[in-house]
Structure 1
Amino acid sequence: MELTDDQIAFREGMSRMGAAVNLITTNGPGGKHGLVASAVCSVTDSPPTVLVCINRNSFVHDKFLQNGVLCVNVLASQHQDLCNTFARYVEGVDRFAHGEWTTLATGSPVLTDSNVSLDCRIGSLLEQGTHSVMFCEVRGMHLSDSPGAGLVYFSRDYHHLQTPPL
Structure 2
Amino acid sequence: MQGQAVSKEPDNTEETRREDYRNAMAKLGAAVHIVTTSGAAGRAGFAATAVCSVSDNPPTLLVCLNKTSSAYWPVKGNGTICVNVLSSDHQDLSRLFGGKTPVEERFAGASWTELPSGGLALDGALASFDCEITSVADGHSHDILICRVLETQVSDGGQSLIYLNRGYHAV
* Alignment counterpart, residue 159 of structure 2, candidates 141, 149, 158: 149
C-alpha distance 5-117 of structure 1, shift in aligned 2 (>3 A): same
In the other structure, the counterpart of 1:77 is 88
The 3-state SS of whatever aligns with 1:80 is helix
Gaps of 5+ in 2: 1-12
Q: CA RMSD in A?
A: 1.5
In the other structure, the counterpart of 1:164 is none
CA distance in 2, matches of 1:133, 1:54: 6
* Alignment counterpart, residue 39 of structure 2, candidates 25, 28, 32: 28
CA distance in 1, matches of 2:104, 2:122: 18
In the other structure, the counterpart of 2:169 is 159
Deviation at 1:93, TM superposition (A): 4.1
- How many residue pairs get aligned? The number is 159
In the other structure, the counterpart of 2:3 is none
Partners of 2:45 and 2:103 within 8 A in 1: no
The 3-state SS of whatever aligns with 2:92 is helix
- Determine which structure has more spread, i.e. the larger CA radius of gyration: 2
The 3-state SS of whatever aligns with 2:69 is coil
Deviation at 1:129, TM superposition (A): 1.2
Letter in 1 for 2:101: V
What are the residue-to-residue correspondences of 1:13-162 with 2, within 5 Å?
13-91=24-102, 93-144=104-155, 146-161=156-171
Scaled by the length of structure 2, the TM-score of the pair is 0.88
Gaps of 5+ in 1: 162-166
CA distance in 1, matches of 2:37, 2:164: 26
Deviation at 1:91, TM superposition (A): 3.8
Amino-acid identity (%)? 39
C-alpha distance 32-15 of structure 1, shift in aligned 2 (>3 A): same
CA distance in 2, matches of 1:94, 1:7: 32
Letter in 1 for 2:53: S
Scaled by the length of structure 1, the TM-score of the pair is 0.91
